[in-house]
Amino acid sequence: MAKLTKINHIAVVVPDIDEALKFWRDALGIAVDHVEDVPSQKSTVAFLPVADTEVELVKPTAPDTGAAKFLAERGGGMHHLCFEVDDVAGMLADLKAKGIRLINEEPIELPGRKMAFIHPKSTGGVLIELYEIIK
Ligand code: CO
């Protein structure tokens, strides 16, 4: 059976990266690794590593994404939790067999990783992302 191996990141949707860094970097003291435009996700993301995981501050750059709708409806906040898993396709099959509602029935393949989302309706309200790092 597929297994979770760590928390890869916790994503927080923000309306403004510089404004958000006043808390996450300046007050809390997390060093920013880098800030990157991620066109495939229609967002700008600041990566703030903490030990072997990281906080990702996600600023939507187009209105037609889940994160942009989340920002419009709730003003931002904790958006999803991402686990690394050793076999994302196997995990999706296990979850589906258990009646868990999935957003992605098959992994999305990106350079360096495969990913999928589990629907918050099946998780008690938490959007969960699964990553399989391809080495
Ligand atoms: Co994520």
**C-alpha 67 to ligand 1 mean position (Å):** 10
Instruction: Report the 10 Å Cβ neighbour count for 35.
Output: 15
Q: What is the pLDDT of residue 45?
A: 97
Q: What's the pTM?
A: 0.92
Q: How confident is the model at residue 1 (pLDDT cuts 50, 70, 90)?
A: confident
pLDDT at 71: 97
- 7 exposure class (CB count in 10 Å sphere: 0-12, 13-18, 19+): middle
**Per-residue model confidence as pLDDT tens digits over 92-108:** 999 999 999 999 999 99
Which domains are seen in the chain, by residue range? 4-133 (3.10.180.10)
Q: How far is the centre of ligand 1, averaged over its atoms, from the C-alpha of 110 (Å)?
A: 13
64 CA from centroid of ligand 1 (Å): 17
- pLDDT tier for residue 111 given thresholds of 50, 70 and 90: confident
Q: Are 70 and 127 in contact (CB under 8 A)?
A: no
- Give the three-class secondary structure for 115: strand
CA 30 to ligand 1 centroid distance, Å: 18
Q: Percent of the chain scored above 90 by pLDDT?
A: 94
CA proximity to 24, closest of 70, 57, 61, 60: 57
Confidence tier at 41 by pLDDT (50, 70, 90)? confident
Q: CA torsion sign, 30 to 31 to 35 to 41?
A: negative
Token pair recorded at residue 86: 């050793």
Position 114 pLDDT exceeds 90:
yes
pLDDT at 110 over 90: no
Give SS3 for 91. Answer: helix
Mean pLDDT of the chain: 96
Task: Give me ligand 1 centre to Cα 10, in Å.
Answer: 7
Report the pLDDT value the prediction gives residue 14, as an integer from 0 to 100.
98
Ligand 1 centroid to residue 126 C-alpha, Å:
13
